Chains A and B, each alone.
Chain A
Amino acid sequence: MSITRRDFMKSTVAASAAAAVGIPISQIAKAEVAEAEKDWQWDKAVCRFCGVGCGIMCATKDGRIVATKGDPDAPVNRGLNCIKGYFNGKILYGKDRLTQPLMRMTDGKFDKQGKFAPVTWDQAFDEMEKQFRRAHGELGPAGVSIIGSGQYTVQEGYVAAKFMKAGVRSNNIDPNARHCMASAVAAFIQTFGIDEPSGNYDDIEYTDTAVLWGANMAECHPILWSRITDRKLSHPDMKLVNLSTFGNMSSSVADLEIIFKPNTDLAIQNYIAREIVHRDAVNWDFVNKHCVFATGPYDIGYGMRNTDKFAHDAEKDIQAKENAVVLDEAEAVAQRRKAGETVEQKNAGGAGKHWQISYDDFKTAVEPYTLDFVAELSKGDPDESLDDFKVKLKQLADWFIDDQRKLVSFWTMGFNQHQRGTWVNEQCYMNHLLLGKQAQPGNGAFSLTGQPSACGTAREVGTFAHRLPADMVVANPKHRERSEKLWKLPAKTINPKVGSHIVKIMRDLEDGNIKFAWVQVNNPFQATANANHWIEAARKSDNFIVCSDPYPTVSAKVADLILPSAMIFEKWGAYGNAERRTQMWREQVPPPGQARSDVWQVLEFSKRFTVKDFWGEQKLPGLKADGFEDGKLPDVIAAARDMGYSPDDNMYKVLFATPANTKVAWPDPVAKGHDNHTVVALGENWFPEKALFEEYAEFGRGHEHDLAPFDVYYRDDVRGLKWPVVDGKETPWRFNGEYDPYVPKGEKFAFYGKALKAIPKGNLDGVTDPNKTAHTDKAKIFFRPYAAPVEQPDKNYDLWYCTGRVLEHWHTGTMTRRVPELHRAVPTATLFMHPADAQSRNMQRKDVVWIESRRGKIKAVLETQGRDRMPKGYVFLPFFDEGVFANKIALDATCPISKETDYKKCAVKVYKA
């Protein structure tokens, strides 16, 4: 590059940066920037990528996005963006963008073995309807499914969930968010009785201590990380601890880096609890008023199949542990049992049950977790001395316990993707609650999310197999009744049986229990562990897979029908981030070709089914619920008739284009001249995104989940609002009387969530008094023991294997790999390994190596330097790269309570290719 060109580029970059952060720039520079931006239209929007939820400004010109930048008015990111965020505008313009439906065809007809060929939307829906009817006819509502997303807009999630739960009466809708934060959800519900964090990102600027537990924030939550490092630089007493199984970018400014062995975070947290107890540091004022002690069974399995029917030979030894395990030394100590004892996993089916225990029981339970025991068990770097490691653990406990110190714990996938994910989340609340460091500015255990609307859509809308909007669940008759009322459905329309979670949908496709799957806004065939099984299952002749996506992902390629989707700025939408902030944006540009929003796709498909297709009697194998005949959903057509529905009314009319919704007119002044291709494609004059948002918001208003009116989010002075939004005011800290309108007057704290408050009494071994007591407004302090990972390195597979993300790529790379700059920055996933491990295997940096597990083998390039530092015996492989396909060899064990897959620990061997 010539010097003059380089200098020119520098001055342009500098001038636009200065303008963005509000530095006065010279008239000439200003004129240059103004000239360049002359015909641009700026509007506020939200970053497409991670759960941080940065605000961005989006510039359009002639129907194209020409620039994006960090929104200076957004409280989350204050004008900054990470490198992915910076390229938001470019993700729309990949060369291989899908612009028309594609179906596998031979001789002009659908053929499972055929090649993909372009079809019209009508042809696509015709075949889809036929296949849906075939699966539904044969297997009933349980035979069809939607694989949804934590990247759904609020409205997309809502229409998909309503179509399935209210229309089809099937609970087989589950998002990829199951892989991402289901453990966090289960722990929130069990501990507080309500989902989502009490604090918000401002905790960072209020705290003295940030502890990262299995969260590489520097790469995965870059803007929050920049807030943490800023806080550290401007507040010299701020301490930062990075607990991880390997050294990563977040260690760079950490005061303490603790490298531990997989699963021993369970032991480390109990060590801290034991220290709190022994140092007499329990905050009794807080605990007596606001908490109750609890525990549950230990023999809960590992979320694998309990039969080896589908296991390949190499998989059988691990699969067998689903039914019984032999306790190792450490587990025996940690669970107060004998080493070598065989424990049948009797509670695999009831892993979530729990009961109240006494403080004395709690003390007894944490007693074995001495510094000596825990340090020996958990030290993760063989090259570190045990004494050094002990000093670190003690320092960590000191900082936790120091009553002059505020402390925030942050975590993401390290805790959530964990065979005991719910437990390890609950342990974090255990220590924060024991110390009374929860739900106050700068004090709290804060679960971060990976996806942009894991909170706003997957969780709040309830696109899970067991959920309904606003934290309600299908298994609760009162919740069903309230939902049926709001949705204007006959009683007993909603199916009370929990549907299949995402891993089970895959297993059901393999088993033949589900024969139709519609993939929306995610890439499950690349993202689900042990992927070989599911790809084979998808290709089985009687399964029909539809994949809606803007790009040809692995999931699109294994599908039978691909539907081209509109991307974020090509539609109206809303996301909810990890601090309960709901943010909305307008359609900025039209989608290319025939690509259409996911809202349109569901609405259009729903027109093809009528009341009599779904609301007659339906078989539902395994259904057992009060008021329902076993194995059957009742006929509700007569009741529907009484409510004014005709058996021939289609689902579009019944569920979506209702009299109330069609009153919400399009065009609407809130659009300020922006378009809505969904309305145009429907040929309607109502505003689905607004009408359906308002309909959905009714579930939460007055029920601790209040959202503001739709239009408020579009006001120029609003950059998202943290729910509950009551009387126009957002709630910065929940459960805290100073900030949260739901805390009863005069109370300092109330953990007012309503779920699972009534529990029986017992001791460490089980329930002693089955009568339930309700612990209204209290949080639970759980004792949860250490448990060993189900698959560990052995002679044959001698290395730990962990998958995860890198800064430059988002998930499976569907979008970020289409941005040339990001792709070039990290073109392929490399296997990180300790140099000594490479040497002992006769391998060198940049060698191509095989990585083999019980589930198959893949190839990648070896890396022994760079941003991640592995301890000996441990390898890490990012999963974004479909060419390397990290999840093919990962184990599909899950937390038995949350059903979230543990992608962080299984055993592999590595050798030269």
Chain B
Amino acid sequence: MNISGIYVLTSPDRLEECCANLAGLPGVEVHYRDVNSGKIVVTQEADNVSAEVDGLKRIKALPHIIVAEFVNHWFEEDQEMVSEIPPDLDDFEGLRHARVPDYLHK
């Protein structure tokens, strides 16, 4: 689990429409909006960093978005992703050598 804080900018007259569109995206919640400047802050939940990046693209693709960028992130310790490394990777010649280059001690 990964929560990102995302800054979105639209023109003030599109603020309501944009917030509604944003709120309609799965995993996205609108937290702050500023009627004068058109600034919005949302959080987005995603499973991993590539989902997070894809999620941002989805926001940028909404109509009337001028800016949409990450501001900050929060990661839950997530064992799942570590286990994504295939177990036989540990047997790699390269990995072993890079960790402790045995052959260099010969």
Answer yes or no: B24 CB below 8 A from chain A CBs.
Answer: no
Q: Nearest-CB distance from B96 to chain A (Å)? A: 8
Chain B residues near A21 (CB, 8 Å)? 7, 39, 41, 71
Answer yes or no: A826 CB below 8 A from chain B CBs.
Answer: yes
Against A, the Cβ 8 Å flags (1 = close, 0 = not) of B79-101 are 00110111011001111001111
Of A20, A69, A79, A859, which one neighbours B93 at CB under 8 angstroms?
A: A859
Q: Which residue of A lies closest to B106 (CB)?
A: A113
Of residues 533 through 578 on chain A, the ones whose CB sits less than 8 Å from some CB of chain B are 535, 539, 554, 557-558
Interface range, B side: 35 or more
Stretch at the interface among A10-18, A146-154, A646-654: A10-18
Contact of B88 with A848 in the complex, beta carbons under 8 Å: yes
Of A18, A807, A824, A884, which one neighbours B41 at CB under 8 angstroms?
A: A18
Answer yes or no: B13 CB below 8 A from chain A CBs.
Answer: no
Contact of B71 with A10 in the complex, beta carbons under 8 Å: no
Contact of B75 with A557 in the complex, beta carbons under 8 Å: no
Against A, the Cβ 8 Å flags (1 = close, 0 = not) of B45-84 are 1001110110001001000011101111111101001101
Chain A residues near B66 (CB, 8 Å)? 230, 233-234
Chain A residues near B69 (CB, 8 Å)? 80, 226
Contact of B72 with A17 in the complex, beta carbons under 8 Å: yes
- Tell whether A14 pairs with B92 under 8 Å between CB atoms, given A1-B1, A21-B39: no
**Distance, CA A883 to CA B86, complexed state (A):** 13
**Distance, CA A861 to CA B86, complexed state (A):** 8
**Distance, CA A327 to CA B65, complexed state (A):** 52
- Tell whether A883 pairs with B72 under 8 Å between CB atoms, given A9-B3, A17-B7: no
Against B, the Cβ 8 Å flags (1 = close, 0 = not) of A817-829 are 0001110111110
Q: Nearest-CB distance from A22 to chain B (Å)? A: 7
Contact of A867 with B39 in the complex, beta carbons under 8 Å: no
**Distance, CA A888 to CA B93, complexed state (A):** 13
**Distance, CA A848 to CA B92, complexed state (A):** 10
Answer yes or no: B20 CB below 8 A from chain A CBs.
Answer: no
Chain A residues near B86 (CB, 8 Å)? 846, 848, 861
Contact of B104 with A861 in the complex, beta carbons under 8 Å: no
Q: Which residue of A lies closest to B33 (CB)?
A: A23
Q: Which residue of B lies closest to A114 (CB)?
A: B105
Chain A residues near B76 (CB, 8 Å)? 1
Q: Nearest-CB distance from B38 to chain A (Å)? A: 10
Contact of B60 with A233 in the complex, beta carbons under 8 Å: yes
Stretch at the interface among A81-89, A628-636, A688-696: A81-89
Q: Which residue of A lies closest to B29 (CB)?
A: A10
Contact of B39 with A83 in the complex, beta carbons under 8 Å: no
Contact of A859 with B6 in the complex, beta carbons under 8 Å: no
Chain A residues near B78 (CB, 8 Å)? 824
Contact of B41 with A17 in the complex, beta carbons under 8 Å: yes
Q: Which of B4, B39, B45, B94 has the most CB of A within 10 A?
A: B94
Answer yes or no: A460 CB below 8 A from chain B CBs.
Answer: no
Q: Nearest-CB distance from B11 to chain A (Å)? A: 10
Contact of A69 with B71 in the complex, beta carbons under 8 Å: yes
**Distance, CA A807 to CA B42, complexed state (A):** 23
- Tell whether A80 pairs with B70 under 8 Å between CB atoms, given A828-B89, A848-B86: yes
Answer yes or no: A34 CB below 8 A from chain B CBs.
Answer: no
Chain B residues near A14 (CB, 8 Å)? 5, 29, 31-32, 41-43
- Tell whether A866 pairs with B50 under 8 Å between CB atoms, given A13-B72, A86-B70, A233-B66: yes
Chain A residues near B94 (CB, 8 Å)? 858-859, 882-885, 888
Answer yes or no: B16 CB below 8 A from chain A CBs.
Answer: no
**Distance, CA A554 to CA B97, complexed state (A):** 9
Contact of A821 with B75 in the complex, beta carbons under 8 Å: yes
Answer yes or no: B17 CB below 8 A from chain A CBs.
Answer: no
Answer yes or no: A808 CB below 8 A from chain B CBs.
Answer: yes
Against B, the Cβ 8 Å flags (1 = close, 0 = not) of A4-34 are 0010011111111110111111000000000
- Tell whether A80 pairs with B7 under 8 Å between CB atoms, given A826-B49, A858-B94, A882-B98: yes
Chain A residues near B99 (CB, 8 Å)? 883
**Distance, CA A207 to CA B84, complexed state (A):** 43
Chain B residues near A826 (CB, 8 Å)? 49
Chain A residues near B37 (CB, 8 Å)? 23
Against A, the Cβ 8 Å flags (1 = close, 0 = not) of B24-38 are 000001011110010
Chain A residues near B33 (CB, 8 Å)? 23
Against B, the Cβ 8 Å flags (1 = close, 0 = not) of A782-820 are 000000000000000000000000011000000000001
Q: Which residue of A lies closest to B42 (CB)?
A: A14
Answer yes or no: A252 CB below 8 A from chain B CBs.
Answer: yes
Q: Nearest-CB distance from A96 to chain B (Å)? A: 10
Chain A residues near B7 (CB, 8 Å)? 17, 20-21, 79-80
Contact of A20 with B101 in the complex, beta carbons under 8 Å: no
Against B, the Cβ 8 Å flags (1 = close, 0 = not) of A285-319 are 00000000000000000000000000000000000
Answer yes or no: A345 CB below 8 A from chain B CBs.
Answer: no
Chain B residues near A81 (CB, 8 Å)? 70-71
Contact of B95 with A883 in the complex, beta carbons under 8 Å: yes
Answer yes or no: A109 CB below 8 A from chain B CBs.
Answer: no
Contact of A23 with B41 in the complex, beta carbons under 8 Å: yes
Q: Nearest-CB distance from B5 to chain A (Å)? A: 3
**Distance, CA A630 to CA B3, complexed state (A):** 66
Contact of B3 with A10 in the complex, beta carbons under 8 Å: yes
Of A115, A229, A807, which one neighbours B60 at CB under 8 angstroms?
A: A229
Contact of A807 with B89 in the complex, beta carbons under 8 Å: no
Known pairs A86-B73, A846-B86 / 18 extra A-B pairs, C-beta < 8 Å: A10-B3, A10-B31, A23-B39, A80-B69, A80-B70, A83-B52, A113-B105, A226-B69, A229-B60, A253-B60, A557-B98, A557-B104, A824-B81, A825-B50, A848-B89, A859-B94, A882-B98, A883-B95
Q: Nearest 3 CB-CB pairs, A to B? A: A17-B5, A825-B49, A883-B95
5 A–B contacts, CB within 8 A, in A order? A13-B5, A17-B41, A18-B5, A824-B81, A885-B94
Residues of A at the B interface (CB closer than 8 Å) are 1, 6, 9-18, 20-25, 69-70, 79-83, 86, 113, 115, 226, 229-230, 233-234, 249, 252-253, 535, 539, 554, 557-558, 807-808, 820-822, 824-828, 846, 848, 858-859, 861, 866-867, 882-885, 888
